[in-house]
C-alpha cells in the first residue's frame, strides 16, 4: 500500500522506471515497480542508395534477448506497408550483432522502410522508419528473351504495379504495335499476336523509356 507525504492512502501508485536500455516503463498497481530491458538494444538502423538503384538496409544491435526475427516492410506513402523480407535473428546474445538486406527493386519516388523486431513469444517492437527517394535514379530495363519471337518480357527494374502504353517501331519509324498493358511487380508481358516480321525494333514504354529488341 502507498501513502502521500500528508499520510493519505493511495489506491493506485504510478511508477516510472528506466530499463537498462533507457526505455521508460509505466505501471499501475499497489506499490508496483517495473524494470527490465528491451529485447533488442538497437545501435543503428540506416538505408543507403546503391549506384545501381537498389537500397541497402543495415542495422546493428548491442544485445538481444529471446529475439526471433526482424521484419522489413516498404511503403510508398508512409501509411500502407508490405513485407519485403524476414531476417532470422541471433536469439539471445550479449554482444554486437549486424544485419543487412538489399532491396533490388525499390519503387520510383519516396520509399519508406519500417523495421520491426519480433520476440520468440510473439511480441514485437517497432525499431524505426528510414526513407530513400530514388526519383532521379535511372533503372536498367531488361527485355527477355532477346532475340524473341512473339512474346516479350520487359523488366522495368522496379516493383511497381500499374498500366503503361507500349509502342513498338521498326527501323523506318513505323508504328507496328501499340497497346495499354498491365505492369505487375515491374514486369510487362507483351504478346505480339500479329508478328511484324524479323528484324530490329524499338520498344517505347510510357513517355520515355526505350529499348531495342531483335525479333525472329
pLDDT at 17: 33
How much of the chain exceeds pLDDT 70, in percent? 78
Q: Do domains 40-133 and 142-215 have the same CATH topology?
A: yes
Mean pLDDT of the chain: 78
pLDDT at 51: 65
pLDDT at 53: 65
How far is the CA of 19 from the CAs of 33, 95, 126, in angstroms?
Answer: 11, 18, 17
Residue 186, pLDDT above cutoff 50: yes
pLDDT, tens digit (0-9, with 9 covering 90-100), for 32-68: 333 456 788 899 999 998 765 678 999 999 998 888 9
Identify the DSSP state of 108: S
Residue 94, pLDDT above cutoff 70: yes
CATH class of 142-215: mainly beta
Its CATH architecture, for the domain 40-133, is Sandwich (2.60)
What is the Rg, in whole angstroms, of the alpha carbon atoms belonging to the chain?
A: 27
128 — pLDDT class (breaks 50, 70, 90):
very high
The residue that leads in pLDDT, 13 or 173, is 173
pLDDT at 185: 82
pLDDT at 209: 72
Per-domain boundaries in the chain = 1-37, 40-133, 142-215
pLDDT at 58: 94
pLDDT at 204: 87
Residue 154, pLDDT above cutoff 90: no
Amino acid at each position: 500500500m502507498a501513502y502521500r507525504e500528508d499520510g493519505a492512502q493511495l489506491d493506485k501508485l504510478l511508477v516510472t522506471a528506466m530499463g537498462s536500455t533507457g526505455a521508460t516503463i509505466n505501471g499501475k498497481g499497489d506499490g508496483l515497480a517495473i524494470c527490465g530491458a528491451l529485447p533488442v538494444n538497437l545501435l543503428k538502423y540506416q538505408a543507403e542508395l546503391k549506384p545501381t538503384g537498389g537500397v541497402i538496409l543495415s542495422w546493428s544491435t548491442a544485445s538481444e534477448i529471446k529475439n526471433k526475427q526482424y521484419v522489413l516492410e516498404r511503403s510508398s506513402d508512409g501509411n500502407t506497408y508490405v513485407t519485403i523480407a524476414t531476417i532470422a535473428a541471433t536469439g539471445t546474445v550479449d554482444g554486437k550483432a549486424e544485419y543487412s538486406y538489399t532491396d533490388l527493386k525499390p519503387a520510383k519516388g519516396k520509399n519508406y522502410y519500417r523495421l520491426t523486431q519480433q520476440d520468440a513469444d510473439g511480441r514485437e517492437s517497432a525499431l524505426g522508419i528510414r526513407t530513400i527517394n530514388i526519383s532521379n535514379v535511372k533503372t536498367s530495363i531488361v527485355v527477355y528473351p532477346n532475340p524473341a519471337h512473339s512474346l516479350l518480357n520487359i523488366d522495368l527494374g522496379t516493383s511497381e504495379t500499374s498500366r503503361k502504353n507500349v509502342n513498338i517501331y521498326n527501323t523506318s519509324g513505323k508504328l507496328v504495335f501499340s497497346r495499354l498493358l498491365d505492369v505487375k511487380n515491374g514486369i510487362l508481358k507483351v504478346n505480339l499476336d500479329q508478328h511484324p516480321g524479323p528484324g530490329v525494333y524499338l520498344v517505347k514504354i510510357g513517355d520515355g523509356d526505350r529499348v531495342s529488341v531483335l525479333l525472329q
